[in-house]
Amino acid sequence: MLRLAMTTDAETFDRVRGPLADRGIAVDHVQAKERALRVSGGGDHETGGGGVGGDADGEFSGFDAGFVYPSRLMEGAVVDTRLSVPWVNDQEAVLTSRNKAGVLAALDDAGLPTPRTTMVSNPVDEAVVTEAVEPLSYPVVVKPNSATRGVGVATATDLDSLLGVVDYLNLVHDYRATGDKSYLIQEFLPDARDYRAMVVDGAYAGAVERALPADAVAAGRWKHNVHRGAEATGVDLPDRARELAERTAETLGIDYLGVDLLAADGRLVVNETNARPTVDAATKYEPGFYDRLAALIERTAATG
């Protein structure tokens, strides 16, 4: 049986274990964060002193592939070395998808529809922010370039509120250790329907619509992230949306991808992508979802 290392033990891990085991793939958890990882054993390799010796209990041994590269890249580099396996979505794929501005720029260059967006790279004067927002109409969305799960995403209804949000970003970016000092100013699509389409090995494999409860919407909330209380319901997307999701994955060169689509006023745009997408219940995807996923894992393992 093929053995797959998964560095998450959240919902996806629990959901995929059974279906993949039925297809000859054993899934085991490898903890990549919130722990101590032996980096070097101090051995003298030139005199036969040996390597790290940090896998005495076989924690990283016997795997054929990984799914997907760890979310924390620093820890991921150590785990990647210890496992020494090919990944379904390697470090490059995760980095590509995590850069929201880079994704939107690549898709726009390929002629795919995206929201009107400007990236701001701090530090800049207020005049630069003022000029950046001029092509857009208020309200606008302000979001960190590389955060996930809707963290730090806000709307601004006028220039003063926009500059107020930027003030908080400036405080964060002023800290020297902050790696990503960029953020996006993006057009706001009110009442947009929010979809997460899954693409596996180049083909559409199902989708969910994410929606907040009616009382949350009535209270003024608008971010339809599952981690913030939205419910994901399986939907049958039209061909137009399916093709857009597939073209997005092809443009980015990522085999396993969650594509976030917004539909409003006749427009359908790619808002973001996720190379570490949460897998929902199998009933919310196409019948061949796990067959396709298993085939991708097997093909990945064969490259190792």
Kindly tell me if the per-residue pLDDT of 262 is higher than 50: yes
Q: Within a domain: residue 99?
A: no
DSSP 8-class letter at 277: P
pLDDT of amino acid 49: 43
Residue 226 and residue 171 share a domain:
no
pLDDT in tens, 131-168: 999 999 999 999 989 876 556 789 999 999 999 999 98
CB-CB contact of 14 with 280 (8 Å): no
* Residue 228's pLDDT band (cuts 50, 70, 90): low
For 43, half-sphere exposure in the C-beta direction (CA atoms, 13 angstrom radius) is: 14
Query: 177: pLDDT confidence band, cut at 50, 70 and 90?
Result: low
Q: Within this chain, do residues 160 and 63 fall inside the same structural domain, yes or no?
A: no
Same domain, 163 and 203: no
Task: Assess contact for 262 and 189: CB atoms under 8 A.
Answer: yes
Do residues 210 and 257 both lie within one domain? yes
pLDDT given at position 41: 77
Same domain, residue pair 241 and 290:
yes
Query: Per the domain annotation, does 96 fall within a domain?
Result: no
Copy the structure tokens of residue 37.
């990882």
Judgement on whether residues 234 and 279 belong to the same structural domain of the protein: yes
* pLDDT, mean of residues 174-196: 86
Question: Residue 232 in contact with residue 209, Cβ under 8 Å?
Answer: yes
Residues 211 and 150 in one domain: no
DSSP 120: E
Across the chain, mean pLDDT equals 89
Name which residue leads in pLDDT, 191 or 20: 20
34/57: higher pLDDT: 34
Of the candidate ranges 36-40, 59-63, 129-133, 243-247, the one whose mean pLDDT is the lowest = 36-40
Has residue 120 been placed in a domain?
yes
The pLDDT of residue 43 is above 70: no
**Do 175 and 262 share a domain, yes or no?**
no
Output 282 or 45, whichever has higher pLDDT: 282
User: Sign of dihedral through CA atoms 67, 68, 70, 71?
Assistant: negative
What token pair was written down for 141?
A: 């969305």
Give Dmax over CA atoms of the chain in angstroms: 70
Do 250 and 180 belong to one domain?
Answer: no
Instruction: Residue 141: give the domain boundaries.
Output: 116-187
Distance CA 251, CA 229 (A): 31
Read off the CATH number of the domain in which 13 is found: 3.40.50
User: What is the pLDDT averaged over residues 196-212?
Assistant: 94
Higher pLDDT, 226 or 28: 28
* pLDDT at residue 237 greater than cutoff 70: yes
Q: How many domains does the chain have?
A: 3
Give the CATH number, domain containing residue 198: 3.30.470.20
What pLDDT is attached to residue 240? 97
Residues 63 and 125 in one domain: no
**Taking a C-beta distance cutoff of 8 angstroms, is the pair 99, 145 a contact?**
yes
Question: CB of 255 within 8 A of CB of 93?
Answer: yes
In a domain, 153, yes or no: yes
Q: How far apart are CA 220 and CA 280, in angstroms?
A: 27
Do 139 and 180 sit in the same domain of this protein? yes
For a pLDDT cut of 90, what percent of the chain falls above it? 71
Residue 38 lies in a domain: yes
Instruction: Tell me the pTM.
Output: 0.90
pLDDT (average), residues 240-244: 98
HSE of 58 in the Cβ direction (CA atoms, 13 Å)?
3
275-293: average pLDDT = 93
Within 10 angstroms of residue 13's Cβ, the number of other Cβ atoms is 16
Residue 45 clears pLDDT 90, i.e. is over it = no
Report yes or no on 57 lying in a domain.
yes
Residue 211 has what pLDDT?
A: 81
Per-residue buried b or exposed e for 233-263, using 16+ beta carbons within 10 Å of the residue's own CB: eebebeeebbebbbbbbebbebbbbbbbbbb
Query: In Å, what is the CA distance from 4 to each residue of 92, 98, 290?
Result: 19, 23, 14
pLDDT at 68 over 60: yes
Name the band, by pLDDT with cuts 50, 70 and 90, for residue 115: very high
103 in a structural domain: no
Same domain, yes or no, for 284 and 196?
yes
